[in-house]
Amino acid sequence: IVLAFFSAVAGILNLPRLHSFTEWLEHTVKSIHPVEFNFLAAVVASIIAISGLFFAWLVYSWRYKKLQELPPAQRPDDPLRQWLGPIFTGMENKWWVDELYWAVILNPYIKLSRFLAEVIDWRFWHDWFHNSVIVRGYNSLARFLSGPFDLGFIDGIANGLASVTVRFAGSLRKVQTGYVRNYALMVLLGVVVIIGYLILR
């Protein structure tokens, strides 16, 4: 998420005249001047480089053909090992930088990643939070909604309306007797009610 956010908006820091980030090192460039060619430094560097090549040729080149004729087990050790001792051993093992990097940075990072993946992500988020909290909570809510709420409340309202309708229909059914005199009486009562309403209005 962090990388996605900065990949989308971090470039705005470098827009012209929008932020001082484009000019915050400008004052340091004014004090920089081109360096003139130093003949002495070039000669010294060349002498050191050529001397190193010549020294390597003295140590290795003239012995190369003779050493290749011997079996690997009989070939003498590198002469620099005898001259440099522990320095050669350190250079041969790259000063144990890889081992130090593994012990100090890589191995703890792998252990931390494994802990985050197995304990925090899987055991906590998946096993406990997802399975226990979310799933069980959802199931409990679903059981409540399908049981007391749906069957008790929703169905109670629907069944109550149906019961009221049945009772009201049963009451009206008594009025319909099938006799003409009863219907004529109801019409007369209706006319009386309407006339009374018109008079009292």
pLDDT of residue 16: 61
Is the pLDDT score of 22 beyond 70? no
Same domain for 84 and 4? yes
- Residues 154 and 70 grouped into a single domain: no
> Are residues 65 and 83 both part of a single domain?
yes
Are 81 and 178 members of one domain?
A: no
pLDDT of 153 above 80: no
**21 close to 13: Cβ distance less than 8 angstroms:** yes
How many structural domains are present in the chain?
2
Q: Is pLDDT at 17 greater than 80 in this prediction?
A: no
φ, ψ of residue 130 in degrees (nearest 5) = -70, -55
pTM, two decimals, is 0.39
Domain that holds residue 85: 1-92
Tokens representing 132 are: 């226990």
If asked whether residues 87 and 121 sit together in one domain, one would say no
Q: Are residues 115 and 84 part of one domain?
A: no
Per-residue pLDDT at 166 exceeds 80: yes
- The reply to whether 137 and 122 lie within a common domain is yes
- Assess whether 118 and 105 both reside in one domain: yes
Amino acid at 64: Y
Q: Which of 8-22, 104-118, 126-140, 168-182 has the highest mean pLDDT?
A: 104-118
Q: In a 10 Å sphere around its CB, with 0-12 CB exposed, 13-18 middle and 19+ buried, how is residue 81 labelled?
A: middle
**Measured between alpha carbons, how far is 78 from 88 in angstroms, rounded to an integer?**
10
